[in-house]
Amino acid sequence: MAALQCRTKIVATLGPASSTYEVIRDLTLAGADVFRFNFSHGSHEDHAARHKIVRQVEAELGRPIGILADVQGPKLRVGVFAEGRVVLEQGAPFRLDLDPTPGDTTRVNLPHHEIIAAARPGSALLLDDGKLKLTVTHVGPDFLDTEVTFGGPLSNRKGVNVPDVVLPIPALTEKDRADLAFALDLGVDYVALSFVQRVEDVLEAKTLTDGRAWIMTKLEKPQAMDNLEAILAASDAVMVARGDLGVELPPEAVPLAQKRIIRLARTLGKPVVVATQMLESMISAPTPTRAEASDVATAVFDGADAVMLSAESAAGQYPREAVTIMNRIVQRVEADAGWRTLMQAGRLEPEHYVADAIAGAAQQVAATIGASAIIAYTHTGPTALRVARERPMSPILGVTPTIDTARRLAVVWGVQPRVSNPDKPVRDAETMVSTALDIAIGGGFTKPEESIVIAAGMPFGVSGSTNTLRVAKAPKAAG
């Protein structure tokens, strides 16, 4: 039996634990709305096989499902050690250089000349997900001399983070470009873009995708937080990627960054996904910790469009349980009177143009008359996005003539995407109303004599022309 679809969506990562038809179908029925393909792992053949299964499940269940291709981005790592591992002592000098010779307790290869070129005395280098910290004392033409601020064991090819320097490194590597081309040919709905530092990184990706997928910018670098407004404005959607963000920002700054990103994304009407370690303990346990349940609930209370599972569903022992419990947490929060009060109190002022005025009015009218649903006719998504921005309590049915748009709307708060009947194209007001009622009644959202609110643009088929608001009542039951 399918889980009740919540307003806050669930993104589930697929991987070795969740690549079969049975598991993917179960995850969908448990509440997953979007599946993430992590291109840091697995082959193109693996992703193609998962894509085929997701589309099979989508067709069988008659419900649009989004697919997110998460490209890896640049991976900055140290080289190797002669003995595979060293222990760096606090206060000791340590050199990072371009020499590929295996390292020891005094030095190691850093095969990234961009870091050496950009670093300055006083710059911090974080190694192995922040477990070790080096402070640059001297910059040479092909090396960095540092002092070990926080020591510990360091082994081959551990990651390097540079939190306080803008690196002249593009967000897309050659591997990413090949993965991106493959993902677009598959027909994914969103591309998650890693290592974004500047708005130019987003614009480059948008040029490469050319409208074939929405760009979901992963906010994981402090430099991106410094350019947040411009980056969000250029993005189609955003992800609060708390893994690398939590390495490069102080831990106490991450919750505030999360709230800032969600608030600004909501203001701009851009879908925002909260990710990383949401139910981390469920990789190996059948239930989450209380703190993890509270973490998911906090994202829902903040008004995030979606919450995401990573290793919990991709490689963990309990992928079905992870999605089921996340869905239960979301349901419980959305049934709470305090959550409704927060959504109403946080409602944003409409921006000064017609489409936003219509979306704001749709929410107000629906609340006043107790409408059973809001029908948002949308060709490429903007009308549904603007209505979702208002966080109405009535379900939003995003009705579109294209399956591509329906799949992209799967990540948007409160929107249940529906593809209109191609044999009954919407070309006039009469067809608009009858189609809206058919979809609302057929989907079980509206009963006889209940009212719906319709937001649309005329003439139909012109993107970005939302200018019409209608109220319609379902007919009496026959007999």
DSSP 259-311: HHHHHHHHHHT--EEEESSTTGGGGT-SS--HHHHHHHHHHHHHT-SEEEESH
Q: Where are the domains of the chain?
A: 9-73+170-335, 85-161, 354-473
CA-nearest of 170, 180, 112 to 143 is: 112
pLDDT at 461: 65
At residue 466, what is the residue type?
T
SS3 of residue 375 by DSSP: strand
Task: Please determine, for residue 4, whether its predicted confidence score (pLDDT) is greater than 80.
Answer: no
Tokens standing for residue 11: 């993104």
Phi and psi at 382, nearest 5°, equal -60, -40
- Each residue's pLDDT tens digit, 116-157: 999 999 999 999 999 999 999 999 999 999 999 999 999 999
Annotated catalytic, 276? yes
pLDDT, average across residues 280-309 = 97
Annotated catalytic, 242? no
Annotated catalytic, 218? yes
- Each residue's pLDDT tens digit, 23-78: 999 999 999 999 999 999 999 999 999 999 999 999 999 999 999 999 999 999 99
For 9-73+170-335, which CATH class?
alpha beta
Domains 9-73+170-335 and 85-161 share a fold: no
- Each residue's pLDDT tens digit, 188-199: 999 999 999 999
- 338 vs 340: CA distance, rounded Å: 5
- The catalytic residue among 218, 242, 320, 386 is 218
Annotated catalytic, 95? no
Any idea which fold 354-473 has?
A: Pyruvate Kinase; Chain: A, domain 1 (3.40.1380)
Residues 331, 302: contact at Cβ < 8 Å? Answer: no
- The catalytic residue among 36, 107, 270, 386 is 36
Query: What pTM does this model have?
Result: 0.94
- 250 vs 93: CA distance, rounded Å: 24
- The catalytic residue among 209, 276, 383, 435 is 276
Task: Please determine, for residue 1, whether its predicted confidence score (pLDDT) is greater than 60.
Answer: no
**What is the layout of strands, in order, in the sheet containing 124-127?**
107-109, 93-97, 143-150, 132-139, 124-127, 160-161
pLDDT, average across residues 414-422 = 93
In CATH terms, 85-161 corresponds, of 3.40.50.150, 2.40.33.10, 1.20.1580.10, 1.10.3720.10, to 2.40.33.10
